[in-house]
Structure 1
Amino acid sequence: MNSMLKLNQFSLRTVSQLFSRSISTSKMVQIKEGDKIPNVELYEDSPGNKINISDLTANKKVILFAVPGAFTPGCSKTHLPSYIEKEKDLKASGVDEIVCVSVNDPFVMGAWGTNFNTKGKIRMLADPNATFTKAVDLTIDLAPLGGVRSKRYSMVIENGVVKTLNVEPDGTGLSCSLADHIKV
């Protein structure tokens, strides 16, 4: 019996080691200043309205800010309103588009935009499967909000390239990613 137990332990350990070696351990790297925006589809208002973020930022100056969730307290009371308040000043300084991204479905993002009257001011883009958020490696696991979400950050993108990136130190705070801190 003991020899059978030892054999099973050995076999499990060997299989485990072989399995772990066969899995790629390449680590994603967080996007940084000077990097190109990934070629990823986001959604505006409905699943049928795909917006390629790489195409959207080509030949433009775009501010993209991301929030952990639509209709959440910090996002609704402070983050989104900071960009609504500064929208005219930011566009007067040469910004072509302001984009808000969240790991939510496009209907939720559309409703949130309607609630805050963002039409023509801020584009509300949904990243329902966190595809963009994972591609820029700015995910955070917020189990109470459904698991994988976006860290809170902002970036200035010029011609598809990140010029400035402001990631909240704890991923969710409200300091460096607000509109007041954007340098365009």
Structure 2
Amino acid sequence: MTCAPTAKRPGWLPATGLAAFLVAILVLSAGALPAQARDLNLPAFFGHWQGTGISETEDSIYFRVTSRDMDVRISGADQGGFRIVWTTVQRQSGAADNPNAERKTTEMMFLPTGRKNVWKSQTAADPMTGTYAWATLQGATLSINTFVIQGNGDFRLHVYKRTITGLGMELDFIAFADGEAARTVSARLVKVGN
């Protein structure tokens, strides 16, 4: 059995031409690659960001997956520090078909530590008596970590990773309870102001 040769269609590229075309597109768009392909400085995160996300947990049979609305404001502070205020509207209590909305706002001020791209909370406390918080900047990701030891000795660690992309900001959040991942949140935000 023989196969007839395939006729060339207008706009058709042979395999080697297609590969060359794709390489050319990648080279030409290198300057427009998402921010994670290069190192950013702290002011790249400044501004007012809004978006929505999905929270997941294994603990609840009724609210295993919930939506969250988010508002984040990041601004510069004296001596190379920064201030962040984030508000989350959660829907994880009440009836499963009509959940209650709960609004939580957190505000933190971070100061330089003397280490490059590492800050600590202005109110960083001994984790035995309060919350210790620090922030790091690596590539296009600003991470904020909070750590506290509870009265019974269990600990809580919250990790917020905010990454600047070509489309805005991505948030990946993990809450650890005594070393086990208890909740995750993935969100997409867009910049709505400075």
Q: Is the pair's TM-score, using the shorter chain for normalization, greater than 0.5?
A: no
Using the size of structure 1 for normalisation, the TM-score is 0.27
TM-score, length-scaled by structure 2: 0.26
Structure whose residues are more often strand by fraction: 2
Q: Which has the higher contact order (CA 8 A, sep 6+)?
A: 1
Larger proportion of helix = 1
